[in-house]
Amino acid sequence: MKDKTIAAILAFFGGIMGLQRFYLGQKGVGMMHLFFFIVAISAGPTPFTVMLISLAAIFGIIDAISFLSMDGREFDLKYNQPMAQTSTVGDVGRQEQQFGNMTDRERRFQQRQRERAENERERIRRAKERNNQRVDTPSPSERQQNGRRDPGRADRERGVHYFKDYEYQRAIEYFQQALSKNPQDVASHFNIACAYSVEEEADRAFYHLDRAVALGFDDFDRIATHDSLAYLRIQSAYPEFARRNYRLSSVSPSPVRNLEDPLVAKDDTASPEPPVTDELLDQLQRLATLREKGLLTEVEFATQKRRLLG
């Protein structure tokens, strides 16, 4: 098997006589180099012979540089082709078909094309791994503990995955599954509110955002700036919703009876009726609408109604 380093050394020191050509199996070219060298030596030190020897030496140095800068596979394809074709038994027929009738330039072109295709496949594979990789992959025991603490976590993570892929309906399905397993999941309420906002379902988005805030979500700046909630922020009900700290109804403190007041102490079973206003009627109508759409259960509807009526 020919070695490009040895070929470069022979070309640098023996390029005048064409030694590198004999080493590479190019006997015809090597004989021509050797013939001109002998003729130049026999003719004596004339300007013509000096020029021939100088050109031969320059060509030898150029060959040495080209051998050293040549890629190993390209050198093998050009000068070790028979061995390269028989190096792998399973690829003999294919390599003979590919390289049988090709010139050196065509072989180098085909080799570069294959390298580019392989690099592109590797780039795509790495990009997919970066998109799908999970930071801090939990152990099986940790996953089991997390599942007990947060039973809807797996469904929520699947929902986030589909949300990022712009498959909002599938994301909503997984967020709903997460909420069915853990109704107190603040993240799922906020995420499904974002998904409903993108789908332009304002009532559902308002409801789940209200539930997220009721369960402890307090990043109000995120609500005011999140891109997915842009549709919600242009609704006519949004200013009032924001004024109430992102709640569907204002939370008023429970009335405390003044037992020191004799007028109240006389009839402590009767509670004052709250004044009926247009705002109160609007809130009750909204609650009834949410119950009819199935967004509120009977228990939640009754709880919200009692809170509004004091």
Looking at residues 237-258, what average pLDDT do you find? 69
Whole-structure pTM value: 0.38
Could you report the per-residue pLDDT of 221-240, keeping only the tens digit for each?
Answer: 889 898 989 898 999 989 99
Please list the alpha-helical segments (H only) found in the chain: 4-14, 19-23, 27-43, 47-69, 72-79, 81-86, 92-99, 104-132, 140-149, 153-164, 168-181, 186-198, 202-214, 220-225, 230-233, 238-243, 262-266, 278-292, 298-309
**Per-residue pLDDT tens over the stretch 35-90:** 777 877 777 777 777 787 787 778 778 887 887 888 777 777 777 765 444 444 44
Q: What are the tens digits of pLDDT across the range 165-177?
A: 889 999 999 999 9
Q: Per-residue confidence at 8, pLDDT binned at 50, 70, 90?
A: confident
* C-alpha distance from residue 307 to each of 11, 183, 276, 277, 310 (Å): 96, 20, 14, 15, 5
pLDDT tens digits, one per residue of 101-130? 567 777 777 787 788 888 888 888 888 777
